[in-house]
Copies of this chain bind each other. A is one copy, B any other.
């Protein structure tokens, strides 16, 4: 797959089947994340890879009701960081932006592997910090829900979720997000 094919294949599916988590895969994902660029090479990104029935159940307990579909994941990656792990240039904090670039590497590699990697914001951050033993001063930015795509999904999904399962949610037009030389 070339890069366009990987990016185009990536979809935030909600219908998941299990897969076998291997430590080798985790090592590869961490290496890819670590190769991302960051302000003065600060590498502010941190990840907890959660897998195995008992560990998963604890992190599943922190999900919002709307994310019940995520409980079929075989792995959850908690992405966390804090402002002082990265540059702060005249009020511009770089930790979220740089962690986003590193997280993209993980999501795209999982996509290339044929898996679904669906980042979510709907979880109880305080509870998740407790479960994962992440100190208070950090922010858990997202949980990446990882599974194999169930193409013949049988889950009970809302009409909206079922729709976004079938068709990619619409994207903004070129002119809404891009400008040539000046606004």
- Residues in A lying within 8 Å of B, measured CB to CB: 1-4, 6-8, 10, 12, 23, 26-28, 30-37, 39, 41, 43, 45-52, 55, 87, 89-90, 92-94, 96-101, 103-105, 107-109, 112, 118-119, 121-122, 125, 131-135, 139, 141-142, 169-172, 174, 177-183
Contacts and interface: CB of A to CB of B under 8 A. Distances in A.
B26 A178 contact: yes
Contacts of A8: 35
Q: Kindly report how many copies of this chain are found in the complex they form together.
A: 2
A96 B100 contact: yes
Given A7-B105, A92-B141, A182 B47 contact: no
A49 B52 CA distance: 46
Contacts of A87: 121
A4 B51 CA distance: 24
Contacts of A10: 35, 37
**Cβ-closest 5 pairs across A and B:** A100-B100, A104-B104, A96-B96, A97-B100, A101-B104
Contacts of A2: 1, 112
Contacts of A108: 3, 104, 108
Nearest to A35: B7
A181 B55 contact: yes
Given A48-B179, A55-B181, A100-B100, 4 more contacts: A34-B177, A41-B170, A98-B100, A104-B108
Contact of A3 (B3, B39, B50, B52): B3
Nearest to A78: B179
